[in-house]
């Protein structure tokens, strides 16, 4: 989850009255109960029950509410998210530099990854950045992509919300900087064009079925 998602989810789960905070954030985003319910695929009356305290939300439901609020806002232009997010950091879920460099193979093992393409020369990774691909595409301008590299371009860019993987790879090709590796979290189906683009850029291409929170925990252990 992004820092904004963590903030909203934390306020809801830590509050004595969860419903008050669910309603507070829904109102802050200018989203109706019906809009939120349709996005989650539930009845508006269920949202009403949570907001009035007749139901107690579990962790996964809170996560679904928060993710839906942010996605709905981005579909409308992302004005609310932008107010709460430092400029240029939209779409960046997490990023960190490793205390010492690791091999790509060690990274693949840590995330239980599947290597979709591997160049002959293996590079070391000095850090990682996890990016919500949909938000990044909608929000980031060309110079904002420089922010995802932190202190070093020798890092793995980990993309969530990927279907076939083309858009992130095209964005990388258009950027003046190139990462050391690319990973996709739960892609629907990475197509052959994406693999060809990885081959052209000589980038290790990896997919994983682990959840984002699990990946972050495993990266902290490296």
**192: CATH:** 3.40.1390.20
Boundary of a domain, candidates 26, 52, 84: 84
What three-state secondary structure class fits 114?
A: strand
Task: List pLDDT tens digits, range 38-71.
Answer: 999 999 999 999 999 999 999 889 989 998 998 8
Assess whether 68 and 140 both reside in one domain.
no
Boundary of a domain, candidates 84, 106, 140: 84
Q: Looking at the whole model, is its pTM more than 0.85?
A: no
pLDDT range class, residue 86, cuts 50, 70, 90:
low
Assess whether 56 and 106 both reside in one domain.
no
Distances (CA, A) of 203 to 8, 27, 179, 208, 211: 36, 43, 8, 16, 23
Assess whether 168 and 127 both reside in one domain.
yes
Assess whether 209 and 107 both reside in one domain.
yes
Assess whether 118 and 184 both reside in one domain.
yes
Q: How many independent structural domains does the chain possess?
A: 2
Between 52 and 77, residue with greater pLDDT? 52
pLDDT of the residue at 79: 82
Assess whether 26 and 125 both reside in one domain.
no
Boundary of a domain, candidates 32, 67, 84: 84
User: Average of pLDDT values for 61-83?
Assistant: 87
d(CA 33, CA 161): 24
Q: Which residues of 165-195 are buried (b: 16+ CB within 10 A; e: fewer)?
A: bebbbebbeebeeebbbbbbbebeebeeebe
Please, is 64 exposed, middle or buried when counting C-beta atoms within 10 Å of its C-beta (0-12, 13-18, 19+)?
A: middle
Domain, as residue range, for 122: 92-220
- Terminal alpha carbon distance of the chain: 20
Assess whether 8 and 26 both reside in one domain.
yes
Task: List pLDDT tens digits, range 95-120.
Answer: 888 888 999 999 999 999 999 999 98
What three-state secondary structure class fits 125?
A: strand
């Amino acid at each position: 989850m992004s820092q904004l998602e963590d903030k909203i989810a934390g306020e809801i789960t830590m509050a004595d009255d969860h419903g008050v905070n669910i309603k507070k954030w829904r109102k802050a985003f200018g989203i109706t109960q019906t809009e939120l319910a349709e996005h989650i695929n539930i009845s508006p009356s269920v949202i009403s029950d949570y907001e009035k305290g007749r139901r107690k939300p579990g962790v996964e439901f809170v996560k679904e509410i928060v993710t839906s609020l942010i996605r709905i806002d981005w579909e409308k232009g992302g004005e609310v998210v932008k107010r709460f997010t430092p400029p240029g950091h939209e779409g960046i879920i997490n990023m960190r530099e490793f205390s010492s460099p690791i091999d790509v193979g060690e990274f693949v093992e840590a995330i239980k990854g599947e290597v979709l393409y591997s160049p002959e020369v293996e590079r070391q990774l000095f850090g990682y950045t996890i990016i919500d691909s949909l938000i990044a595409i909608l929000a980031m301008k060309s110079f904002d992509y420089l922010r995802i590299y932190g202190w070093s371009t020798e890092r793995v860019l980990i993309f969530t919300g990927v279907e076939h993987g083309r858009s992130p790879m095209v964005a990388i090709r258009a950027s003046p900087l190139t990462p050391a590796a690319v990973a996709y979290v739960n892609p629907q189906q990475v197509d052959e064009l994406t693999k060809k683009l990885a081959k052209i850029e000589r980038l290790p291409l990896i997919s994983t079925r682990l959840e984002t929170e699990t990946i972050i925990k495993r990266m902290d252990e490296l």
